[in-house]
Amino acid sequence: MNNQPDEKGFYGVFGGAYIPEILHGNVESLKKAFYAAREDESFQKEYAYLLKQYVGRPSPLYYAGRLSQTYGARIYLKREDLNHTGSHKINNALGQILLAKRMGKTRIIAETGAGQHGVATATACALMGLECVVFMGKTDVERQFLNVQKMRMLGARVEPVTSGNMTLKDATNEAIRYWCSNPDTFYIIGSTVGPHPYPEMVGYFQSVISEEIKWQLEEQTGRSYPDILIACVGGGSNAMGTYYHYIDDPRVKIISAEAGGKGVDTGETAATMHVGTPGIIHGFKTLLMQDHDGQITEPYSISAGLDYPGVGPAHAHFYQTGRASVHAITDAEAMTAAFELTRLEGIIPAIESAHALAVLKKESFGAGDLVVLTVSGRGDKDMDTLINY
Ligand SMILES: *Cc1c(COP(=O)(O)O)cnc(C)c1O
């Protein structure tokens, strides 16, 4: 199955575990615990209960009538924006916190960019009564202050990171550094990135998205698969969840949206798959924005959740093998799409999700085409950016 890496964690040539010796034991015991939990009925039962009664799943699959009319296709929106805490991130945070509990860990660390994963992790820690430390670039602490206040209210300690650009990449560096000197902590990574088994594990915890799409689509259209799936890719977790059960189905076309920033040729971009070359970051091999000396280039996007110089190894593999086609969506295209969805359907999306919506203008559809597009989060956190635009 193409949604699974090989036993060393490789999707094609990407992935793996490039970690310092000190973390080797951690990563090995995490792997063991994850594979055991996946097969364990009591773990599955507790996780399913939380997804249903705490997160509010299944998230609706909504037929967007006016959007469909505009683009001449049958467009369904997978509403991850309606989850508790406002995005898909909670699916993964809860899966990993249950695993942490099972492993007897009491202190949790996490990295965050826009703050959505930080809030989801702080929420899961409050729920389980565990200690929580969130690493966040100082720049992001300042521009996403509402989420910082939420994390603190939930009982988490937010550690502002002052290295580099003081954004997501730097927060992740710091979380890994802390993990190396405190190997007893459990590191909850927020996307399908990091050393094996994280990309596989996070993809698995998000796979509930396509599991639901299958029966919801069958219920509403009499067919369990769409012609086209669309999702935005930062590290790639909401997209992996959306594609998971369809990756081996050749009837389903997969289209990803990455953040073009001001344009792929401007130097101010986060379009990793378009401009990246193979390299290693945060413990895995992927397509990476870097210069000729292998120095990582600072990414830029209007959306703090897509502002990452790498991409999950599975997505680099899908891109390179042609399984997915990938559009680089500019800031302006994403903003236009955000306002369009708001006016056509009464849904204010996160700016990340708006990148997926902008794909609708880039493709031409047949009248019968069945499209499922994941709205990964709600726009509340982005109101300042949307108003100022
Ligand atoms: C974090 C985030 C993303 C990007 O992360 P992925 O792992 O690529 O899904 C996209 N949308 C929202 C709303 C987010 O919070």
| Chain segment 120-178, per-residue pLDDT in tens | 999 999 999 999 999 999 999 998 889 999 999 999 999 999 998 898 999 999 999 99
Torsion 45-131-125-200 (CA) sign: negative
**Annotated catalytic, 111?**
yes
Asked whether residue 151 is domain-assigned, the answer is yes
In terms of domains, do 114 and 126 share one? Answer: yes
pLDDT on residue 1: 62
pLDDT more than 90, % of the chain: 94
**Whose C-alpha lies nearest to ligand 1, atom 3?**
305
In terms of domains, do 148 and 187 share one? Answer: yes
pLDDT on residue 47: 98
**Whose C-alpha lies nearest to ligand 1, atom 4?**
234
In terms of domains, do 257 and 176 share one? Answer: no
- Can you give the pTM of this predicted structure? 0.98
In terms of domains, do 35 and 73 share one? Answer: no
Provide the mean pLDDT of the chain: 96
DSSP letter assigned to residue 23: G
**86 CA: nearest ligand 1 atom:** 13
In terms of domains, do 24 and 74 share one? Answer: no
Q: For residue 90, which of 61, 59, 60 has the smallest C-alpha distance?
A: 59
Residue 304 has pLDDT above 90, yes or no: no
Domain, as residue range, for 186: 18-50+89-202
Q: Is 238 in the pocket of ligand 1 (CB under 6 A)?
A: yes
Asked whether residue 6 is domain-assigned, the answer is no
> Which DSSP string do the residues of 339-387 spell out, in sequence order?
HHHHHHHS--B-HHHHHHHGGGGTS---TT-EEEEEE-BBSGGGHHHHH
- Residue 21 φ then ψ, to 5°: -50, -35
Asked whether residue 256 is domain-assigned, the answer is yes
Q: How far is Cα of residue 162 from the mean position of the Cα atoms in its chain?
A: 24
Q: Which of 168, 202, 236 is the last residue of a domain?
A: 202
Domain count, the chain: 2
pLDDT on residue 247: 97
**87 CA: nearest ligand 1 atom:** 13
**Annotated catalytic, 89?**
yes
Tokens (6 digits) for 389? 């635009």
In terms of domains, do 241 and 194 share one? Answer: no
pLDDT grade for 367, boundaries at 50, 70 and 90: confident
pLDDT on residue 277: 97
In terms of domains, do 63 and 128 share one? Answer: no
First and final CA of the chain: distance in angstroms? 43
Residues in the chain: 389
In terms of domains, do 101 and 228 share one? Answer: no
Q: Which of 157, 185, 202 is the last residue of a domain?
A: 202
pLDDT on residue 199: 98
In terms of domains, do 215 and 355 share one? Answer: yes
Average pLDDT of the residues in 269-293: 96
Q: Is 377 in the pocket of ligand 1 (CB under 6 A)?
A: yes
DSSP letter assigned to residue 290: B
User: Biggest alpha carbon distance in the chain?
Assistant: 57
Query: What CATH number does residue 302 fall under?
Result: 3.40.50.1100
Interval between CA 138 and ligand 1 midpoint (Å): 20
Interval between CA 306 and ligand 1 midpoint (Å): 7
Q: Is 235 in the pocket of ligand 1 (CB under 6 A)?
A: yes
In terms of domains, do 234 and 130 share one? Answer: no
Asked whether residue 106 is domain-assigned, the answer is yes
**Annotated catalytic, 59?**
no
Interval between CA 379 and ligand 1 midpoint (Å): 12
Q: For residue 284, which of 305, 318, 314, 253 has the smallest C-alpha distance?
A: 314
pLDDT on residue 183: 87
CB 130, CB 90: distance < 8 Å: no
Asked whether residue 13 is domain-assigned, the answer is no
pLDDT grade for 354, boundaries at 50, 70 and 90: very high
CB 230, CB 354: distance < 8 Å: no
pLDDT on residue 147: 94
Q: Which of 169, 202, 235 is the last residue of a domain?
A: 202
pLDDT on residue 164: 87
pLDDT grade for 205, boundaries at 50, 70 and 90: very high
Residue 198 has pLDDT above 70, yes or no: yes
pLDDT on residue 2: 74
In terms of domains, do 76 and 94 share one? Answer: no
Average pLDDT of the residues in 219-229: 98
pLDDT grade for 263, boundaries at 50, 70 and 90: very high
In terms of domains, do 308 and 256 share one? Answer: yes
Distances (CA, A) of 248 to 23, 90, 191, 209: 33, 26, 22, 16
